[in-house]
Amino acid sequence: MPTSACLRAVLMAPLAVALSACSLWPFGENGDQAAANGAARPSIAFEVQGVEGRLADNVRAHATLASKPCDTAPAYVRALAARAEEETRDALRAFGYYQAEVSVALDTAGDCPRAVVSVKRGRRVTLREVEVRVSGPGENDVAFERAIANLPLTPGAGLSHARYSEAKSLIETLALERGYLDGRFTTSRLAVDPHAGTADVTLVFASGTRYGVGPVRIDEQPDRLNESLIRRFLDYSPGAPYNSSLVTRFYTALSASEYFESVEVRPLLSQPDGETIPIDIALTPRKQHKYAAGLGASTDEGIRGRINYANRRINRHGHRVSAELRASLIEQRLQGAYQIPRTHPADEWLSIQAGVRREDLDSFDTIESRLGASETKRRPWGWMETRFVDLNHQIFDVGGDSGTTTLLIPGLRWAKTTSNDPLYPTRGWALEFEVRGASDAIISDVSFARASVSASAVYGLPAGMRLLTRLDAGTSWIDQFDELPPTERFFAGGDNSIRGFGFEDLGPEDADGKVIGGKHLAVASLELEKFFTDKWGGAVFVDAGNAFGGAGSSTGVKVGVGAGVRWRSPVGPARVDLAHPLDDDTIVRLHLRIGPDL
């Protein structure tokens, strides 16, 4: 064998032995299993004395030693214990404690080392001077002024580095939300004087130009509706100052339209077009036909069921057709509607309706046929106006009288609802006012005029309580009251009226003691509610009022009092009430309701 070959063999032999020995070490599959088992090994006992709460948690989070397992090499444990003193000081400085005294005691006896960190935190640094301002076009932006006024940085407060960083982040986030894409901090200074125990903050944010709303590109796949209709849902001004709330408004309007299965609204903040922000909207249409059925119950109607059909779009203009069959122990109804979206289709529609209805109550019976048209329009200050005209034919029996009446009823309705939460508000109100009437000079068999108002409000109270109020009032003008169908008279009683009495069981009575309804209505309610858990609560209430006037004898003011259970369901409060009428032989009446408060 050549000398060079022999030399290579001699040198390679020890390496081969070493590589063979490597197979005996816990590498590969067995090593991985050992590492996995190590993740569950107990950690070194790490105790913090002298501080608690967030301070103690931050010390543990900063200390490397706190996360090490018990079988860590002793030399490494001692090194980490020495490092823990400075790590603890860093953790305390984050909360403004710059003069803390820290000592670490390490006990390595036993199976697992134990470290005790003793802290004397000393005096906390407080903020002395705080200057936060915005320069440039955003200087007079009210949103910045409001945000700066509410920042977690105030003179005299204890220093917190996290709050300082949070303040910077809040301003930067707000700038992006309002279209100041070029905004940046030109001054960002936190000057701490540990010996004086004070700190000064200076933050100056140069907003740069506020970008506007750029091109809005719409991609509907597959294409089902005219783009002009979709754009009417967006309700924005091209070039207007950008605001992230616009994205939310676009998404909400398109999702609520029921035209689309999925809606994606994406502002291209990183791809501005000049000084505007383009917005891409991707839409997937819903199925054209919708079928639904439901079964429920309430004390007013008893067991009730419904079957619905809707054609969400019969053409590219977004026209709709719907039909519904409803049946309960007291009412059966079949109705249909043809709807046409108007200028602002999110809430403006022209609707043509037709239907038949039978209602059988203790107070009256009626069979009604109806053909009508209505149009809803936006009005200033958030009011919605509905103009309507109904051609109504009724065969009715109320008290001891029977009649047949045809009425052409035009009317106006104004409504507004405002609240801080659509399902569980702690502050809000709803108001609806309606006027309607008919004239025997135009098709109608009887002349009358009627006005009604319905108001409700919710007030948040201390200790997590709410006060709910309600008022329903109405009046009518008519000379021939006996010819007025019961649907145009006023009655009281029921789940949404005076609890403790049956549905529309209250009002003036005829000579035989049968309720025939009245010309006027006044009902008020007060309810105090308190939730004891996230889902369950209780309420006490009092309802009072009645229907008055007309051809019958007044039965006076009726009062119902009671208490109930409340459950926060996904669709609003579910209410189970037991109500006692104060001047009636009924001991208690059960009332069931579900749905939003306003």
pLDDT in tens, 201-234: 999 999 999 999 999 999 999 999 999 999 999 9
Q: Give the separation between CA 545 and CA 471, rounded to whole angstroms.
A: 10
Interval 409-455: pLDDT, tens: 999 999 999 998 888 899 999 999 999 999 999 999 999 999 999 99
Q: What is the bridge-based pairing of β-strands 198-206 and 184-193?
A: antiparallel
Do 212-285 and 289-594 show the same overall fold? no
Residue 124 in this model has a pLDDT that exceeds 80: yes
Interval 568-577: pLDDT, tens: 988 788 999 9
Count helices and strands (H / E) in the chain: 8, 25
Q: Provide CATH code, domain 212-285.
A: 3.10.20.310
Is residue 414 within 8 A of residue 383, CB to CB? The reply is yes
Nearest-CA neighbor of 408 among 383, 430, 385, 440? 440
Interval 21-38: pLDDT, tens: 333 333 333 334 444 444
Confidence of residue 40 (pLDDT cuts 50, 70, 90): low
Query: From its phi and psi, is residue 208 left (phi > 0), alpha (psi between -120 and 50) or beta?
Result: left
Q: Which of 387-391, 509-513, 532-536 has the highest mean pLDDT?
A: 387-391
Q: What mean pLDDT is predicted for residues 127-146?
A: 94
Percent of the chain with pLDDT over 90: 71
Q: Give the separation between CA 14 and CA 26, rounded to whole angstroms.
A: 21
Q: What mean pLDDT is predicted for residues 372-378?
A: 95
Q: Phi and psi at residue 371, in whole multiples of 5°?
A: -130, 125
Q: What mean pLDDT is predicted for residues 381-401?
A: 91
Interval 245-256: pLDDT, tens: 999 999 999 999
Mean pLDDT of the chain: 89
Give the pLDDT score at 583.
Answer: 82
SS3 421: coil
Spell out the CATH class of 126-206. Answer: alpha beta
Sign, Cα dihedral of 259, 263, 267, 271: negative
Give the pLDDT score at 544.
Answer: 96
Domain boundaries, the chain: 3-35, 45-120, 126-206, 212-285, 289-594
Q: Residue count of the chain, please give it.
A: 598
Residue 88 in this model has a pLDDT that exceeds 60: yes
Q: Give the separation between CA 349 and CA 531, rounded to whole angstroms.
A: 39
Q: Give the separation between CA 487 and CA 403, rounded to whole angstroms.
A: 13
**Domain 45-120 CATH superfamily:** membrane protein fhac (3.10.20.310)
Report the amino acid identity of residue 97.
Y
Q: What mean pLDDT is predicted for residues 6-24?
A: 37
Give the pLDDT score at 329.
Answer: 84
Residue 520 bridge partners (DSSP): 475, 548
Confidence of residue 596 (pLDDT cuts 50, 70, 90): confident
Please tell me the pTM assigned to this model: 0.74
Q: Which residue has the higher pLDDT, 510 or 412?
A: 412
Those residues with Cβ within 8 angstroms of residue 11's Cβ, 6 or more apart along the chain or in another chain = none
> Could you give the strand order of the β-sheet that contains 126-135, starting from the edge strand earlier in sequence?
126-135, 198-206, 184-193
Those residues with Cβ within 8 angstroms of residue 158's Cβ, 6 or more apart along the chain or in another chain = 95, 96, 124, 125, 126, 127
Q: What mean pLDDT is predicted for residues 260-266?
A: 95
Domain 289-594 has CATH 3.40.50.150: no
